[in-house]
Structures are given as structure tokens and as C-alpha cells.
Chain A
């Protein structure tokens, strides 16, 4: 093994020699410069390798053959190896990124760069606190000098602020060091942590350790002592910022971590508090940012707060494992993603995130950008996800629920601005601009990206608690993302084939509810994907994302523990967000979708954590069945998360926007399939946990009212929509409300109704959204009043919509009636009469939007501009009729479906429906779908035949052959009554749909932004203000941690 002292020797030696070498030419100097960096990396890598695979033991290295404190000594263990490897790697990559700059500035820049790397390595390796100071200063001076080479005003201002704050930090550090030394007589960190136990002067000891830690709090840029840091991130050359935000903070963090064992629990608690506070507050302030670099600055600061708090927590709770499970992935996530993103800001030199669309011209950079933003928002499979997950579970095992809340709140804020940036970048039109995509810069970023992915997959497999079969559904999507260069049709066919293959090979191995849901997902995905084959425009990612989303749905069902469930949930959220985001003008709507979805996901995670806390060894769903004092809260949180996904009343405001703005052939997936994910979540939760109740609160009753009111209000809102997709979106909201209502009954009949209604809704919304997609494809508008009379042009679409609305409104003889029948019987059986009334009201109101949908589009007067439209393409028609055939099958033989449902529901709740021949019996009534169909069919045929016989010849008339108050109308625009169709209804019952929820969430959002805006004003830009904050913070924290005793 190479002695790590050679790291110092190589860097220092090269640094000294460079002025000489540069005489031989810049190229030579640059080569030597890079070689020394690579050599250093190689040394660290070699150490890491032997720690990983050869069982290397930690080693101590002394200089000058003298024991400390008279010499420098290094400690190189596994953690140190990881850190120096990462730092040296980024150093090489950063040097590549800045190579032009370095070459231009000459050997001075190289020396400074090498010194900086030296300082970073020393910070990580040193085993005594004084050299900590020395290396910190070496790093700082080298970094400041590098900053100063860029002669821009902002760079210099930022640098000066940085230096003044750094100078103050050094003062605190030195004071702390000398006090600790005077008390313990040692500078070695390890021996000091032993000696502090024997110190008599506890007061002085705590002052010393406070000062030591406080200097690191400044160096770690914690709130509110961090204004200078954010300004520096903003102003300084992004090459250096990326390097500093990654390597600098990592090294400083690690040295802080090293000294944590010295300090007392009070101070550790203070670190946890300050770190968490910084995480939340900085992310909150980030919300108002428009400059990407400043956003990244706030995010960096926040991430460091989180990492620091997590590390302090792991020391506080003496949980060494947590360092590797949570702290390290959080740090590495930040490390690679921040470096990469800062460097990207150095290429796309736009100071306003709304102008970042230009990055779309470079697909490689765009891909990396997306990956890194998602990594920063903590999505699986990136390390940040694993870090947060493990941290949350560990906190939950220790009943620290408040901190979980804080972490999740901060993460939500962070996702807020990061995704806003991503969303705008992906969509917004941009001014053409020449951007220099220097290949070496892109290469550097690409290397960082690959490292991020490697770490992601390392943690992915390290954490893998389940059989690989769980991950199988994702493979198609990933493969299609890889094969993105293929023509669209081929990708579409491949998607169909993969869905079919999955269904054929794996569906048979399942049973019970998973089989039921997966059968729906697989069949639905297959049928709905047919419509996407109509796509003409080339898109590299569409099928990949679509298959990932479908895969996540299937994986959600396959999941056997909360981890897999949550991973699927997150992947589903992200992929559906990206899919919805593809739609035209969808930025606002998809943003609202992702924020609600993420909020829901975090509520679910919080609930999981609560349930997990009582049984912290297992991740299986079994944890829900153990009743404890937290069960009720856990249930409420988890179900709130699911309710958001199903767009229950109060959290529904995203639904119309998201559904209507998504591409037309994507909306069917979202409505027909994705909304069922929330239902599956409920099924899983209710099966394992039941519905908890106390003496005073019956959650089942509350849930039933949520379902009933969602159904009623959703329907009420649907009837006043002018846009067909918005109308159907609210209709979906209402229909899913019925499912929740039925699930809350918790009886055999209730669940039969729920499952029946779910299948019914899946089939119908598939048909309706596809039909509307076909119409929009031909007419180019979703506004219903702009159409009219399309029945003659699009008879197939019309017929499909007609069957759809008959089925959805619950009119016999189609399946919708079965769903309503089961629901009402179950509700009356349960004794929930008022909910029955509300559901009934909702179902009659549904007639209004059903009629409106079909009338405004297909009936009435045709408009001039659509006189020549054709029937929708067969790609849309075929899947509609496949679904209609299934609807008819289940209408004529409801027994086929109900028996399957009974088979899975019966083991849990007992039989809800009994059968005599084809007649279904409940405890209240009976229904025979077959005879109803026969009777209705017969009457219909007889009457049709009668009319045909009586009037064999009938005269067809032209468009305006009507009597319009004895006048012959000429303008179809004036004759088609469709706009504000139900205005009297709104006048009478409009109060029911007053936008309370919308106003509420608008207020929440506005308040959040207002708070964010006023908070960030504390960073006035005046250096003296920042000095004041630092000093005030030292006083306040001193009194809190030390002065109290």
C-alpha cells in the first residue's frame, strides 16, 4: 500500500516544481499537473479497493518519526478512503472542466489547484485538530486565490464575503482548539475524545467544544450564518463553485464528523437542530429564487444541513451503521449532483431559470440535467432516496417523528424549486442562443453523472430487500429508454410485446388482490398502448417513460414490503409527472400535480415510519397489523397520501389540469390505470390495518363521507366544464369517490362493489378518454362548444361514447348499473343511509355531464370548420371497441366478474353476493344482469323492427331543415346550444362547487412564497449584516448550549 503521505508529497512536490516545469511549455506543465492529480487519485483508489475487498484495517501514519502532537499524523480508515477517493476524483474531473481556464492562467492556477486538493486530502486524513485548522486554511487560501483569478465583480465580492466569514470561523476554531488543548493536553482527536471524560472543568470544556463546533457550523454554512456562502455560490465562477460545493463541503463535513465524538450530547443536539433548521429554512427560501446558481446555493446549504444533522444524529444515537446507510448516500448524492449542476450552469450561462430551455439543444446535457435534478429531489434509485429512507426509518425506530416531519417538509420545498426549474426547462420556449458546449466540460459532467449512477446502483443493490422479480416490470421501460433512437412504431410494438409477454409469463403466478389489480393493469396497458401507435412525431423518451410508469404500477402491486411499495410509488409519481409534462402548455398543471403527489408520497412515508416505529426490524406489510398508539395517526397519514392520488375532495385541485393538459393518448392511462394506484394502496392498507377507530372517532365513517362528497362534488364540477377532458377528469374524481366510499364499508358486499366499480371505471374511462382523444386528434380542440354534429363524421366514436355514458351513468343494462346496484345495497346493508342519498344524488347529476359530453360534441349542429373531418384513426377506434366488448361481456354476464371478485374478497370479509342461476342476491335485493339484457334487447329489437316495417322509406333532411321559431337558421354557430349548458343549474346549486379547496391551496401556496420571500430578505447582501448574524448566532447558541447550566 502506498503511504498516504505521498499524496501530500506528490501534490506539494509538483506544486513546487511547476514553475520550473512550465518553462518547458504549458502543455508539459498541464500534463504533469494532471498526472499528479491522477496519481493522487490512484493512491486513494487503491486504499479504497483494499478496504472494500481485501479487509484492510485502518492505519495510522506519522511524519518525522515523532509522536503527535509534535508531528502531523494521518489516520486512514474505510471512511477516509471513501472521502479521499471521491474528493480526488472530483478534483481530476474539475480540473478537466476548468482545463482551459487553468491553461490560460498558467502554472499559478495549477499550483493553487494542487494546494487546494492537498488541503482537502489533509482535512480528511488528519488525526489532530490543529492540523485540521492548518489544512482548512490551506484549502481556503487556495480556493480564495482561485476565486480571485476570475476578475469579475461578483466573483470578487463573493470571494471577499467568503474570506471574511472564513476568517471569523478560524477565530472560533483556534479559540476552541486552544481551550480543548489546555484542558486535555492533547491535540489528537482520538485521544482527546478519551481525555475529555476526565476533565474537571466541565464549563470550560463545553465552551471549548462549542467554539470548535460553532466554527464548523459557519464553515458548513448553516442558517442564518450562511448569507455569504449563498452569495459566493451565486457569484463565483461555477467551475470553482462546483468543486467547492462538492469537495470542500465534503471535506469540511468529514472533519466535523471526526470531532463529533469529542463534544457533549447537548452540542450534538444543537448540531441536529441547526442542521434541520437550515434544511427547512434554506429550502423554503430557495422557492423564491429565479437564478439557478442561487437555487443551487440554497440547495447546497440545505443539503449540508441535513447531512450534518444526520451525522450528528448517528453519533448521538451511537449508530455507526447509520453513517453508511444514510449520511454517506445523502452526502454523495449532493456531492455528485451539485458538482454536476453547478458545472452545467457554467455552460448554460443563463441567470434566469426560465431561459434554460436552450439546454434542450444538447440531448446529453439535458439527460444529465434531468438525472441530477431528480437525484437532488430524492427520487429512487438515486442515493439521496436511500439516505432519506434510512434516516427516516432510523428516526422512526427512535420515535423522533418531529424530525421526520421536518426532513420531509424540507424535501418538499426543495423538490418545489428544483422541479419548477426542471419543468420550465423541459417545456418553455427559449430564445435561440449560441451556447458553447465545450466537449471537455460536457465530458467532466458526464463522468460525474456516471459516478452518481454507479453510487445509485451500489445503494440500490445494497439495500435490496427483495427478490429480483420485483424489479422485472421496470426493465421494459429502461430498455426502451436505451433504445430511444428506434422509430416510434417499433418502440410501440415492442411495448405491446413486452406487456403481453409479462402478462403471459408472470400473471399466472399471482393470486388474490395482486392478480386482480395486475390483470387490470396489464390488460389496460396493453389495450391503451394500441392508441399510442398513432403517434407520428418522434420522441426519444415517450415509450420509455410510459413503460416505466406501467412497470411501476405493476411493481407497486408486486411489492411485498413498504420499501418496494414506496419505490414504486415514487417512480410512478415521477414518470407520470414527466408524461403529463409532455402535454402542451402543461407546466403549471404538471407542477401542481407533482407537488401534490410528492406531498402525498411524503405523507405516506411519514405514515409508514409511524407504523414501522413499533416494530423496527421488519419492512413487510405485517407492521400495519400490529395495533399500537400510533396506528390511528399512521392510518390517517397514509390514507391522506392515497386520497391525494385519487383526488379526493379537498386535495382534488390538481386533477382537471393534469388530466386535461396531458397528451391525449396519455390521459387514458392516467385516468383508467394510474388513479387505481391509490385504490390499490387503500386495499393494501385496509387489508393489513383495517380501519382504526376509537371510542369517539370512527375513521371508516369519515372516510365514507369523504368518498361520498368526492363523488358528489366531483360530479357537480364536471357538469360545468367546457373542456371535454376537464369534464372527464372531474368525472373520474367522482367515480373514484364511489370506490373509496365502497371500500370504507369494509364488508364483503362493499368490497365487491368497490372492485366492480373499479373495473367498470377503468373500462369506461378508457373508452371515453380514447374517444375524446380521437376527436381532438381530428378537430384540434377539446372545447366541446366548438364542435357539434360530429355524429355523421365520426359514427364509431359516437357509438363508443354513447356506450360509455350509458355505462358510466349506471343505466341498465350495462355494467354501470351493476356497480351502482352493489354500492347501494352495500351502503343500505351497512346502515349508511345518508351516504347512500349523497351517492344517489351524485349518480343522477352524472347524467347531466354525460348528456352534455355527447350532445355538445356529436349532436346538434355541425360547425363549418369541421365539415370535412374524418373518423378518428383506427388506432383509437380499435382499443375503444376492445374495451366495449369487455363492457358488454360483463354486462351480459356480470357473474363472470363478480365471482372473481368474490373469490378474492371472500377470505377477508366473507361472501357479499350469493347466486341462484344467473341472479345475484344480497341480503336486501336481487339482480339478474342476463335477463335484464335479454328483455331490454328484445324490446329494443322488436320496436326497431316495428318502426322499420312501418316506415321502410324515410326521407333524410339537410342540416338546417328545422323550424326555428318559424325562421330558417343559417349560422350553425348560433344554432348549436352548448356553451354554459347548465347555467340555471349553476345558478341554483353553484354554491356547492364554490372553490373553497382551490382558494385554500392558493392561500397555502401564496403564504409559503410570502414567507419564503420575507425570510430570504435577511440576506441583504451586506457583508456586515452577515458578520452580525454570525456573531449573534454565536451568542445565542452559546447561551442555549453552554450558558444554561
Chain B
């Protein structure tokens, strides 16, 4: 690997870009939600302020080694997820380490941070932490089903699991996007997306921290800093994944920003206008309409091929 150092350098560059993008995205969302609520809202750079503030806290307490490692797992998961994904199609420096694995690696790596975080939070000994984790994990298991089915349909459609190749196949205009060529899979995928972005109505697992206890409450100072920074990476990485899968990917950064922002707004707007589902409700919802849609998407290709 003679170009390892170049790859590394490029990876750092893209990480820098995406980190800031993610932070700003968060700020914009605060603003939008506030406006919908009729408030003025914080400035768009508020996430930076938050991050600096928590990183500057001097006291730190720990419930144990796993508690300590939880945010590390989480952050490593976010960065790793981003690094295993090609960000901008055709760009040399926005390919990251996508040669390490295909779509399946990316999907499974989403769990890495979640699992580590769950372990860390659970060590805090706070009963609401596992409650939140239970809700979050339970929802993930079902929202992954339509997503997996959509991905399988895409793999069947394109005969590949490589993200780069899937994006390549969508080049040449909106008509080639999977959104147009495989609408059923896209529909299933986008419904799963709502669950994966964890906005209302699928954000029951956040309830424990609003009480106000739960994982992010027990975590503080630099731990919280890690988690906030991770949020920037993680959210952006997921947006990029969906953009790549269904909406033709991006050939340059403005397109990337445009598409991911729109995608994010989809989740945000759905969330803003919806109440919160209970866990049973959301599980049942996912196992019905989105899963059925996914099965249809897959069946199309079962009989086509």
C-alpha cells in the first residue's frame, strides 16, 4: 500500500469537512425546530459552543472502565462508519477507506458504536440507561428489516454490493437514480431511514434522557464531547449512505450538501409534525408497512432474475 499515507491524508481532510458539516447541520436543525415551534432559536454555531463548553469542563467522574470506554466505542463507531464509505463519487480524496469492505461492512459497522455505547451506559448503574438502550436497540432491530430488504433489492438490481458501483450505476441524470429505477426499494429504505435517524415518531428511546436521566445525562464533560462530535459524524455518514444508495450519490461537495440536507429535512419535518410512538407501536409499524414494502421490492427481483 504505497499510497497509504495519501489515503490517510485524504481521510483526514474529508473527516474535517464532514465534521463541520455535521455540526452546522445540527445547528440548522435546532433553528428549524425552534421556528416551527415559534421560537427564535439558537444560532447555527450553537453545537460548536456546546462542544467547547463540555470539553472545557474540569471535573470528570467514572463508574468504571466500560463506562469510560463507552463514548470511545461510540465515537470510533461514528468515525469508522464514515471512513468505510465513499463520500463523493469520482473524487480522489473523498473515497476514504471504502476499499476495506462493501455495503455490508458499512451496515454492520453502524452497530459497533451503538453496542459499545450501550455497554458503557449500562455500567453507570442507572436503571434508565438500560431502559433507553432496550428501546433503542429494539427499534433498530425492526427498522433494519425494511432497510436490509431495500439493500438486498438494490444488490439484486445492480448485481453488486459495492457502494461505489451502485453509485456509478446511478450516474447520468435523475432518471438513473435508484429512486426512479427502483421506487419500491427506495420507499422501504426511506421508511427505515425515519427509524434510523431517530426523530419522532421513532424517538422513544430518547425519553429517558428527557426525564432527565439516561445515557447522555450520566455522561458529561469530555465523554459528552465525544458523543456530540460523534453525532456530527454519525448523522452525516448515515445521510451519505442513503444518498449513495437511493439518490444517485454526489459527484461534488455542493451536490452532497444539497442532497444530504434535503434528506435530513425529510426526517426532521416528519419528526416535527408527528407525536411519539410507543415502542410497541413503532415495532408494529415497521414490521407491517415498511417490511411489506421491502418484501415486495425483493420479490420483484426474485421473480425478475
Contacts and interface: CB of A to CB of B under 8 A. Distances in A.
Interface stretch (B24-32, B41-49, B142-150, B242-250): B142-150
Interface string A934-968: 01100110011001001101111101111111000
Nearest to B104: A821
B100 A940 contact: no
B183 interface: no
B299 A834 contact: yes
A859 B80 contact: no
A924 B76 contact: no
A935 B134 contact: no
A982 interface: yes
B138 A984 contact: yes
Interface residues of B, number: 84
A925 interface: yes
A939 B109 contact: no
Nearest to A715: B141
Contacts of B160: 924-925
A940 B116 CA distance: 11
B100 A950 contact: no
A451 interface: no
B141 A963 contact: no
A840 to B, nearest CB: 4
B94 interface: no
B100 A928 contact: yes
A1038 to B, nearest CB: 63
Given A927-B102, A976-B127, A981 B61 contact: no
Contact of B100 (A850, A935, A960): A935
B207 interface: no
Contacts of B35: none
Interface stretch (A38-46, A725-733, A754-762, A807-815): A807-815
Contact of A837 (B55, B69, B295): B295
A538 to B, nearest CB: 39
A927 B100 contact: yes
Interface size class of A (residues with CB under 8 A): 35 or more
Nearest to A789: B125
B5 to A, nearest CB: 13
Contact of A844 (B118, B144, B301): B144
Given A851-B115, A931-B99, A985 B123 contact: no
Contacts of B75: 939, 943
Residue of B124, B152, B287, B299 contacting most chain A CB atoms (<10 Å): B152
Contacts of A947: 68, 71-72, 222-223, 226
Interface string B123-139: 11111101101110110
A851 B278 CA distance: 21
B55 to A, nearest CB: 7
B130 A981 contact: yes
Given A847-B115, A925-B104, A792 B125 contact: no
Given A844-B141, A977-B130, A988-B284, A859 B123 contact: yes
A975 interface: yes
A790 B290 CA distance: 40
A962 B125 contact: yes
B140 interface: yes
Residue of B122, B280, B284, B287 contacting most chain A CB atoms (<10 Å): B122
A964 B152 contact: no
Contact of A810 (B108, B222, B295): B108
Given A812-B112, A955-B61, A989-B287, A939 B161 contact: no
B6 interface: no
A935 B153 contact: no
B295 A935 contact: no
Interface stretch (A479-487, A546-554, A823-831): A823-831
Contacts of A981: 130, 134
Residue of A824, A837, A841, A977 contacting most chain B CB atoms (<10 Å): A837
A828 B124 CA distance: 41
B83 interface: yes
Nearest to B280: A988
A861 interface: yes
Given A855-B130, A859-B123, A984 B283 contact: yes
A848 interface: yes
A1034 B69 CA distance: 84
A834 B80 contact: no
Contacts of A817: 105, 108
A860 interface: yes
A952 to B, nearest CB: 10
B83 to A, nearest CB: 6
Residue of B138, B160, B218, B221 contacting most chain A CB atoms (<10 Å): B138
B138 A982 contact: yes
A716 to B, nearest CB: 10
B302 interface: yes
A957 B128 CA distance: 18
Given A809-B115, A810-B108, A950 B222 contact: yes
Interface string B286-298: 0100000011001
Given A840-B144, A860-B125, A977-B131, A919 B108 contact: no
Interface in B62-95: 62-66, 68-69, 71-73, 75-76, 79-80, 83-84
16 contacts: A812-B108, A817-B105, A817-B108, A821-B105, A833-B152, A851-B115, A924-B155, A926-B99, A927-B102, A936-B112, A939-B75, A943-B79, A954-B62, A962-B218, A963-B217, A977-B131
Top 5 closest pairs, chain A to chain B, by CB: A925-B102, A925-B161, A859-B122, A988-B283, A840-B148
Given A824-B161, A833-B301, A834-B295, 9 more contacts: A812-B101, A828-B152, A828-B156, A841-B144, A859-B119, A924-B155, A924-B159, A936-B80, A963-B126
